[in-house]
Amino acid sequence: MEPCGAYSLRVGSLMSLSRRVADRIMGTELYEQFVFRKRVLFQSDEAYVRRRFREVHGYEPDLEHPRTYCEKITWLMLYYRPLQMASLADKYEVRSHVQNRIGEEYLNQLYGVYTSTSDIPWEALPDAFAFKATHGCHWNILCPDRSKLDRQKSIRTMRRWLRLNYYWFGREWVYRSLKPRIICERYLFDDNGTDLTDYKVHCFNGRARLIQVDMNRHGEHRMGFLSPDWDLLPVGKSVPRLHGVPRRPASLTQMLALSEELAEKQPLVRIDWYEHEENPLFGEMTFLPGRGLSAFDEEEHEAEFGSWIELPSPHRKNEVRMRIKSALRTKWS
């Protein structure tokens, strides 16, 4: 008879092996494009978004009378869908909007835009650059030194991006119809060779009212929130807070004015900036920050910032759907 310890060791080894196999299968393109999509294919956007909200926040969102910051972002995801937002979420298409609205001098230098990795002129690229997928979020490859870049790994990663539709990973409608592309931009760093600070200006109905500062994003990441007057606010999220008031950017007044010019009258948009040689450089526009799943640490701030968002009228077909669902809930409650 096999000793109990040996049996437990064998079972543990088999379980470890099965986990490794499962991780390998679930990390493949087949899983992401077929199994993952099939799992959510028959859920409507509203059913999926509501389920994720409950899983993260622990309660059902009130989308008939949204009150908090996250509830209102969730409402905007489902019921507010102006077509212009999709082109502004595209990291390549938005450049034309910025150029026409405030001027091309606020754009980072663009080396190229590619629909295939085979189009990339690797030997012609500078020593430092950054690849970004235009049709998703967090799909970036930062290369401060081309000689140290694993080119084949980068190619595999970007090919994967080009095959994916980011919409399926969170049901953000703005990404659903975007053309998959890769852009290559100038890599930005300061005089010490470190990444530039991110300045994210949150505009509520066209007004710049909150500034998010992210420092050392790829190291000991810290985040802080400041007023337009550059006062540090007692506000936080899941990221460790800043130790103190960060250096005020020389171009802050310009950043705020340009943000309001780009925001126009959108209910909510976050406009990201960098400061390079005391001049503001545009990063991107985000209309649904965190998909309504990234709450502020304190409930009072969730309520306060939620009150700053004045929701527009929903598009007609969404309004009809909302009324039908409200009537059904009333009937069966």
User: What pLDDT was estimated at residue 195?
Assistant: 80
Q: Are 285 and 88 in contact (CB under 8 A)?
A: yes
Joined tokens for residue 58: 């622990």
User: What pLDDT was estimated at residue 297?
Assistant: 93
DSSP state of 42: T
Any residues with CB less than 8 A from the CB of 224 and at least 6 apart, and which? Answer: 212, 213, 232, 233, 236, 241, 242, 246
Residue 214 bridge partners (DSSP): 198, 223
- Is residue 58 very low, low, confident or very high in pLDDT (cuts 50, 70, 90)? very high
- Alpha-carbon distance values, 70 to 50, 66, 153 (Å): 12, 9, 36
Nearest residue to 73 via CA among 45, 93, 49: 49
Any residues with CB less than 8 A from the CB of 112 and at least 6 apart, and which? Answer: 119, 120, 121, 183, 184
Mean pLDDT value across the chain: 87
**Residue for token pair 């007609």:** 316
Give the C-alpha separation, 256 to 241, whole Å: 22
Joined tokens for residue 177: 């119809």
- Is residue 190 very low, low, confident or very high in pLDDT (cuts 50, 70, 90)? confident
pTM: 0.83
Mean pLDDT of the 17-44 span? 57
- Tell me: the pLDDT tens digits for 323-332? 545 544 444 4
- Tell me: the pLDDT tens digits for 132-150? 999 999 999 999 999 999 9
User: What pLDDT was estimated at residue 47?
Assistant: 93
- Tell me: the pLDDT tens digits for 281-312? 999 999 999 999 999 999 999 999 999 999 99
